[in-house]
Amino acid sequence: MSTNPAPPWSMLAARLEGELETDALHRILFATDASVYRELPRAVVFPRSEADIVACVHFARRHGVPITPRAGGTSLAGQAVGKGLIVDVSRHLRKIIEINAEEGYAVVEPGVIRDQLNAALQEHGYWFGPNTSTANRCTLGGMFGNNSCGSTSITVGSTREHTLEARVVLSDGSVVSLSAGILSPGFLSPGPSPGERGGDPNSIESKRLSFSSPESRSIPFSAGASAGEGESPILANVHGWLRQHLSNPTTRQKIREAYPKPAVTRRNNGYALDLLARQAPFDPDGPPLNLCTLLAGSEGTLAFTTQLKLRILPLPPRGSAVVALHFTTVDASLRATQLAMETSPFMCELMDDTILHLALQNHDQRKNASFVEGDPRALLLVEYRAATDALALEMARQLGRSMMEPGPLAVPAYATPALAGQPQTDKVWALRAAGLGILGNMVGDAKAVACIEDTAVALPDLADYIEEVEALMQLYRQNAVFYAHAGAGELHLRPVLDLKKTADRQRFHDITRDVARLVKKYGGSLSGEHGDGRVRGQFLPEMLGDDVYQLLVELKRTWDPQGIFNPGKIVEAPPMNEELRYAAEQQVADYDTLLDFSADGGILRAAEKCNGSGDCRKLSGGAMCPSYRATLHERDSTRGRANVLREVLTQNQHEDPWAHPALADALDLCLSCKACTSECPSTVNMTNLKAEYLHQKQAREGLSLRTRLVAANEWLYRTGGRVPRLANLLLDATEPLMKYLVGIAAERSLPRFPVESLRTFYTRERPAVAGTRGQLYFFGDEFVNYQDVEVGRAALRLWWKLGYDVHWPEHAGSGRAQLSKGLLKEARRLAARNVEVFADRVGEQAPLVGLEPSAILGFRDEYPKLFRGDLAARAQVLSGHCFTFDEWLFREFTAGRVGPDDFGHVQQEVVLHVHCHEKALGEASQCAAVLSLPRHFNVTLLDSGCCGMAGSFGYEAEHYEISQQIAEQSLYAKLRGRSTKTLIVAAGTSCRHQLKDGMGRRAWHTAEVLWRSW
């Protein structure tokens, strides 16, 4: 932590509408982005207005505290971290101010997420074209900061070309709106002589935008321009500087020679001086001077953006199809790229087998990869758009056919499956988008490191360039991983390095330097989209030459004489292999954990799997991360939690890392929903990490009364169940007081004691003659045995009616409550008994089936991690034979043992909410499939997230509100307005309880609804 005297933070806080945080938690949370760097900031501000940002700038000037603007924090080059004040616009500045479809623009605050803007634009028939793989969580402020682009760049270009106007706070605190033709008074515009013109016919702006777009116009922001607009002394100096240098033909010539070839369409090398030199008055034939061109890609180093006016485009044609060209060599796929580009595709992307193999280890991506045939060395994915899917499919197939012929390619494609329609093509692009994140999914300390991951060359140079890169990588004993925006000539390539080792930190530098030289040789751009930041800034003098580099330094000083905006990024960058996330040769304690994290190399490495990609900050689709979606606070994202855990385990400032208050804060709202287990590309399993944390903490601090009660839940219901009427009377009389004393929300209802337990029912009703269709072992968990007895009855009746022989030996509780509360020793004791009971009984022909997903799935996820040695091995084998009711039925259906004829003919509308654990560890689509077995059931599978209850979480008084907020976002809103005749199906007891308390709706288990089909 810094030893400099603390600036008077309270003075700044007093001037802010938003929040200022200086505690350890916030400093840790914002010390990293998606890059390899770690810089501990001094404070973090969440501005609520432009005035807040102006206040931060004045404070920074007065007290010499630099500002790093930050949004989604998904940058890969270290440009979203800094040692001063982090100003995060992603929390509050997220308003879409205006959409003007007629004039073709949208005005947004910088924290608006790209996909959210597009969702709003869709109803107008428009979209914002540039995209990134991170489009569901990165913001327009961040995209402008980095001049982002992605798979659509071959058709629409990058963010720069779509920014009509930017409203920014300058380093003197003045606010200006910048757009084409906004010049300071007295700006001289003599223009160079015709012979001196620097315009290039291949200028990237002149080639794109094949979807007709309204012309760029300078329309003032609807929010109104500031009084000082165009009159700022800083702006006048900038204009003066540009006039002085860019009017000079020799300088322009030097710039032209230093920057990438014009045919390189992706170019985020330094400040875009080369493009300014092609604008009027420096090139009289060019478009009017627009400082947005320069600010795009300036990484928050020149000014702070508060609003953007963006060009929007009519939506591309609806019909879509992707052809996946399978090749046996990378070189063949690259040569195919050039041919594919001649057919004007919408997107053209490449991924190699390493990415594919890693993808296949990820639960969600495995599903998306189903189109892959055999084991291709490289896949070239080419999308076409047309009026209909069928037309697009024909184009895709045509390319596929031509690529399989021996003629055009020395090594033709061996398979060319084509997929039509957006649901199918979305899966392909989801797989491709996950690629970079998946690369982070490597066990151990060696990771695929971002440093040369977005170099770009002209398309005709790509194959030769890659050949040389591959040779270079071999020198460094690196197995190159290829992943490219191939159509745009950009290669994603990451060396695998252990940055905890001094030698690899040197290699990190050397490889980047050598690749930079190679890029220079081909006239390419060291960064095609991710920016220079910390990682590439050091090599800019070599890339651009000293003279041009000095111009960049001067330009920065002209905009920002005091160096308050994001210093050390792009220009005057410190050595790129310092201030990394991991300290070199650092000795870290070996943490003795109860859960077995050895598959990840220990608990620290399990936390280090988070590479900061920020997928857990997405706000729609899937379920990760429900707490972040509710609070929009980095602290409540999986990334935030993993960062805090890594930090306290490695850089702990407290006597005992487990007692660190930042850890308690970060993990408090984790619902242990397991969504991250499947949706995080690096499979960070926060449920396990939180359980271990609670175990460690409680081992030191003891248990609260509430935790004891939750853990004693089964015993309480078993005991009370012996005298249910009396127990219920007692519960009625003491409920309010008990809730108050224990800390349970007053709004919650507590389950009543059943008149008879499920076990009693089973013993009484079990058929005398065993069924012959098959057999199964029933895991009658504590919830179904004592609380949701009617669910168990329906399942048993169904099994018996279908002719199954159901065995239910005596066994222990599932341990779910203990696992969620970190009572791991108790959970282990229960799990050990269950493994003893079932391990030798269950198998392929007699699986173990449970009704409560969270209980039975504990056998699959947690049980094997609770043990070591023989018991762990037995638990592992057992886990392969444990199924939820839905999984089991799906299995019987696919084996042909059960079919639609086995069910009744009742007509029924059904809407299905799948439990988080089942979504994470199973297949939601299977749940929908089994519910659809009765011929007259019409099933809607909800795209719902976590219900917000999560075991005891939603009962807890302090979590009640957030639990309702999560339920509202992910579930209630999707159910509201549906007919009361529609049955809601939710296999989870918590989900059913949440729906009862929050919406007053009865929800049913799958077994109950199927039982009602007769």
Ligand X SMILES: Cc1cc2nc3c(=O)[nH]c(=O)nc-3n(C[C@H](O)[C@H](O)[C@H](O)COP(=O)(O)OP(=O)(O)OC[C@H]3O[C@@H](n4cnc5c(N)ncnc54)[C@H](O)[C@@H]3O)c2cc1C
Q: Pick the stretch among 3-11, 145-153, 798-806, 937-945 that binds ligand X (CB under 6 A).
A: 145-153
Query: Does residue number 995 form part of the binding site for ligand X (CB under 6 A)?
Result: no
CB of 959 to ligand SF4, least distance (A): 12
DSSP 413: -
Q: Which of 501, 543, 494 is nearest to 520 (CA)?
A: 543
Q: Which stretch binds ligand X (CB under 6 A): 134-142, 174-182, 751-759, 1003-1011?
A: 134-142
Residue 132 binds to ligand X (criterion: CB under 6 A): yes
Pairing relation of β-strands 804-807 and 882-884? unpaired
In the complex with ligand X, the residue whose CB is nearer, 418 or 431, is: 431
Interface with ligand X, residue 265, by CB under 6 A: no
Q: Which residue has the tokens 């796929």?
A: 333
Find the binding residues for ligand X in span 756-785 (CB under 6 A). none
Nearest to 487 by CA among 351, 329, 340, 386: 340
Give the nearer residue to ligand SF4 in terms of CB position, either 311 or 959. Answer: 959
Residue choice 47, 66, 84, 150 for contact with ligand X (CB under 6 A): 150
Q: Pick the closer one to ligand SF4 by CB: 273 or 644.
A: 644
What minimum distance in Å lies between the beta carbon of 133 and ligand X?
Answer: 4
Kindly state whether residue 806 participates in binding ligand X, applying the rule CB under 6 A. no
When asked if residue 138 is in the footprint of ligand X (CB under 6 A), the reply is yes
Separation CA 404–CA 802 (nearest Å) = 51
Please give the structure tokens belonging to residue 605: 């490495």
Given 31, 43, 89, 941, the residue binding ligand X (CB under 6 A): 89
First to last CA, the chain: 68
Most distant pair of Cα atoms in the chain: their distance: 103
Residue 676, binding choice from ligand SF4, ligand X, none, Cβ under 5 to 8 Å by partner class: ligand SF4
Q: Which residue, 138 or 832, is less far from ligand X as judged by CB?
A: 138
What's the closest the beta carbon of residue 618 comes to ligand SF4, in angstroms?
9
Task: Kindly state whether residue 76 participates in binding ligand X, applying the rule CB under 6 A.
Answer: yes
Q: How far is the CB of 925 from ligand X (least distance, A)?
A: 26
**Alpha-carbon span 685 to 740, nearest angstrom:** 33
Binding track, positions 530-549, relative to ligand X; x by CB under 6 A: x-------------------
For the bound state, the minimum distance from the C-beta of residue 680 to ligand SF4, rounded and expressed in Å, comes to 3
Binding partner of residue 642 among ligand SF4, ligand X, none, CB cut-off 5 to 8 Å per kind: ligand SF4
Binding partner of 156, given ligand SF4, ligand X, none, CB within 5-8 angstroms per partner class? none
Q: Is 139 near ligand X (CB under 6 A)? A: yes
Report the nearest approach of ligand SF4 to the CB of residue 682 (Å): 4
Structure tokens at 887: 């999984």
Binding status of residue 118 toward ligand X by CB under 6 A: no
Nearest to 682 by CA among 462, 986, 361, 413: 361
Whole-number CA gyration radius for the chain: 30
User: What are the tokens at 932?
Assistant: 């659809």
CB of 685 to ligand SF4, least distance (A): 8
Report the b/e string of 725-737 with b at 16+ CB within 10 A. Answer: eebeeebeeeeee
In this structure, which amino acid lies at residue 918? Answer: E
Least Å distance between CB 677 and ligand SF4?
7
Which amino acid makes up residue 565?
Answer: F
Could you say which of ligand SF4, ligand X, none residue 33 binds, taking C-beta under 5 to 8 angstroms by partner kind?
A: ligand X
Distance between CA atoms of 933 and 936, rounded to whole angstroms?
Answer: 8
Closer to ligand SF4 by Cβ: residue 87 or 962: 962
Residue 806: which of ligand X, ligand SF4, none does it interact with, CB under 5 to 8 A by kind?
none
List strand residue ranges (DSSP E) for 6-120, in order.
19-21, 43-46, 67-70, 85-88, 96-100, 105-108
Q: Write down the least CB distance from residue 266 to ligand X, Å.
A: 9
Binding partner at 997 among ligand SF4, ligand X, none, C-beta below 5 to 8 Å by kind: none
User: What is the residue type of 136?
Assistant: N
The distance of closest approach from Cβ of residue 645 to ligand SF4 in the complex, given in angstroms and rounded to an integer, is: 11
Paired sense of beta strands 85-88 and 67-70, if any = parallel
The least CB distance from residue 420 to ligand X, in Å, is: 24
Span near ligand X by CB under 6 A; candidates 64-72, 116-124, 495-503, 769-777 = 64-72
Q: Which of 146, 171, 683, 707 binds ligand X (CB under 6 A)?
A: 146
Residue 358 binds ligand X, judged by CB under 6 A: no
Q: How many CB atoms lie within 10 A of CB 840?
A: 10
* 449 lines the binding site for ligand X (CB under 6 A): no
684 contact, one of ligand X, ligand SF4, none, CB 5-8 Å limit per kind: ligand SF4
Count of residues engaged in binding ligand X, rule: CB under 6 A = 38
Site membership for ligand X, residue 436 (CB under 6 A): yes
* 489 near ligand X, judged by CB under 6 A: no
Closest CA to 337 of 462, 436, 453: 462
What is the spatial distance between Cα 263 and Cα 248, in angstroms, rounded to a whole number? 24
Which of 142, 602, 626, 988 binds ligand X (CB under 6 A)? It is 142
**Strand 908-913 relative to strand 983-986: parallel, antiparallel, unpaired?**
parallel
Pick 104 or 110: Cβ nearer ligand X:
110
DSSP 539-562: GHHHHH-HHHHHHHHHHHHHH-TT
Among 12, 60, 106, 143, binds ligand X (CB under 6 A): 143
Asked if 307 is part of the footprint of ligand X (rule: CB under 6 A), the reply reads: no
Q: Among residues 833, 885, 880, which one has the least CA distance to residue 859?
A: 880
Is the alpha carbon torsion for 917, 922, 928, 931 positive or negative?
negative
Secondary structure class of 68 (helix, strand, coil): strand
**Cβ atoms of 533 and 79 closer than 8 Å:** yes
- Pairwise CA distance, residues 69 & 304, whole Å: 7
Q: Which of 84, 104, 129, 145 binds ligand X (CB under 6 A)?
A: 145
Instruction: Find residue 641's DSSP bridge partners.
Output: none
Instruction: Work out what residue 682 binds among ligand SF4, ligand X, none; the CB cut-off runs from 5 to 8 Å by kind.
Output: ligand SF4
Residues that bind ligand SF4 (CB under 6 A): 437, 610-616, 624-627, 638-639, 641-642, 670-676, 680, 682, 684, 686-687
* 141 touches ligand X by CB under 6 A: yes
The site string for ligand X over 600-619 (x = CB under 6 A, - otherwise) reads -------------x------
Separation CA 947–CA 927 (nearest Å): 17
Partner residues linked to 807 by β-bridges? 777
> Closest approach of Cβ 547 to ligand SF4, in Å?
40
Among positions 210-239, residues that touch ligand X (CB under 6 A) are none
In 301-387, where does DSSP find H-type helix? 330-341, 353-360, 363-368
CA 691 centroid distance within chain: 23
* Residue selected from 73, 376, 567, 858 as contacting ligand X according to rule CB under 6 A: 73
CA distances from 93 to 90, 694, 724 (A): 6, 35, 54
DSSP 970-997: IIIHHHTT--TTSEEEE--HHHHHHHHH
If binding is defined by CB under 6 A, does position 566 make contact with ligand X?
A: yes
63 binds, among ligand X, ligand SF4, none (CB under 5 to 8 A by kind): none
Compute the distance between CA of residue 339 and CA of residue 319 in angstroms, rounded to an integer: 22
Three-state secondary-structure class, residue 67: strand
3-state secondary structure 130-173: CCCCCCCCCEHHHHHHHCCCCCCHHHHCCHHHHEEEEEEECCCC
Structure tokens at 597: 């994290």
Verify binding: residue 354, ligand X, rule CB under 6 A: no
Binding site for ligand X (CB under 6 A): 33-34, 68-76, 79-80, 89, 110, 132-134, 138-139, 141-143, 145-146, 148-150, 299-300, 304-305, 436-437, 529-530, 566, 613
